[in-house]
Amino acid sequence: MAKPPQSTRTQPRETTSAPSRDLAALPERVRAMRELILEAVESGDIEDLRRPIERNETLPIFATGAERPRTFADVVGFLKAQSFDAQSRETLAIIAAIFDQAYAKITRGPVVTYEWPAFAARSMGEAGDEERREMWRCVRFADFASSSDKAPAIERIGIGADGTWHYFVANS
């Protein structure tokens, strides 16, 4: 039996920039989406997140697995259910805390994503005291109990260079 030919394809190399707080360095569409999300957060009403969510052609990723929302209509109910207080104050506070952090520019081949917080991919063990305090601001209350034997899941937000909101999920 002949061997299948070896693939000459290589995976796109991933690079991550140093953390940055320079919002002026962000592409205009990324800044605009970030501001739209923050306006919704500042309103205090989770329903106002529909505007930035529905600006996308596709639904941002809010969870993986069977429980994830599958339609734009399902998102707000899902976010309410994920929030400890069932009114989404926790979710809105976490989004505000995430955008209060430095971001990183992640490049995978031709795809560029801006991710907040920049430390989402790092472990708590690698962080100093100040950064560790900031990390805890980006953790859901429900994840505190489940993280006793491992590092907690840090929530993160990714926005593509074109202004598309790609995800709001915890690191795994």
Confidence bin at 2 (pLDDT 50/70/90): low
Structure tokens at 17: 């920039």
pLDDT at 114: 97
Cα(91)–Cα(80) distance, integer angstroms: 8
Q: What is the pLDDT of residues 82-112, one digit of tens each?
A: 888 877 888 999 999 999 999 999 999 999 9
Kindly tell me the sign of the dihedral angle through the C-alpha atoms of 74, 116, 106, 153: negative
Q: Where are the alpha helices (DSSP H) in 100-163?
A: 129-136, 141-146
pLDDT at 172: 62
Structure tokens at 81: 């259910």
Q: What's 26's DSSP letter?
A: S
pLDDT at 154: 83
Residue 142 predicted with pLDDT over 60: yes
**Residue whose entry in the numeric block shows the structure tokens 């801006």:** 114
**Residue whose entry in the numeric block shows the structure tokens 């805890």:** 136
